[in-house]
Amino acid sequence: MVLFTSETEPQTGKQKLELIYRRYGNKMYTAAYNILKSRSDAEDAVQNAFLNICKKVRSLNEKDDDALRGYVLAIAQNEAYNIIRQRKPDVSIDDIPEPAEDNGVEIKVAEGEEFRFAVKVMREMDEIYRAPLYLYYVMGYSYKETAKQLKRGEATVRVQISRGLNILKKSLKEAGYGT
């Protein structure tokens, strides 16, 4: 006698999408929000990611949790970056008021500028360094989890993170940020 369960039955595309949404929807939203810092933009990125996932849903293996998680998170992150690329500045630099003196605002502005510059450097960084840096520092993955997500050796990931950090530090120093 053969017993069929939800684990042994082939799933339809709709069932796979529902499973992916239940398992990873919040993680996809968090990944997009960490990039975009906007609820509505993050929701748009996740929606766009699911549209992309729909195209390949039949070929996805929902039983390989690590590979599937990496795949859907990468799509959500890429969609978030696509939204950033499509943005146009809403405010002219001339419209930004000068910060008041002696109240700590200048320091906050400088820190914000440094952060924006660091994000710019990371976006322009080679994917071989950007991906491990993002997974490790932004998503909070361990070295081992990062290596598994990227299908690289753990020692390789450690070296790539170290080199990526060195590139970031060097760029920040050359631009006059930090020490």
The enclosing domain of 125 has a CATH number of 1.10.10.10
Average pLDDT over residues 66-88: 83
The token duo for 10 is: 């082939």
Buried-state track 129-165, b at ≥16 Cβ within 10 A, e below 16: bbbbbbbbeebebeeebbbbbbebeeeebeebbebbe
Of 69-83, 94-108, 127-141, the least confident: 94-108
* Rounded Cα gap, residues 29 and 172, in angstroms: 29
Asked if residue 5 is part of any domain, the answer here is: no
Same domain, 75 and 134: no
The enclosing domain of 32 has a CATH number of 1.10.1740.10
* Rounded Cα gap, residues 60 and 70, in angstroms: 12
Neighbours of 27 (CB within 10 A): 15
Same domain, 19 and 81: yes
Model pLDDT for residues 137-166, shown as the tens digit of each residue: 777 778 998 888 888 899 999 999 999 989
Same domain, 15 and 79: yes
**What is the extent of the structural domain holding 51?**
10-88
> Looking at the 3D structure of the chain, how many domains does it have?
2
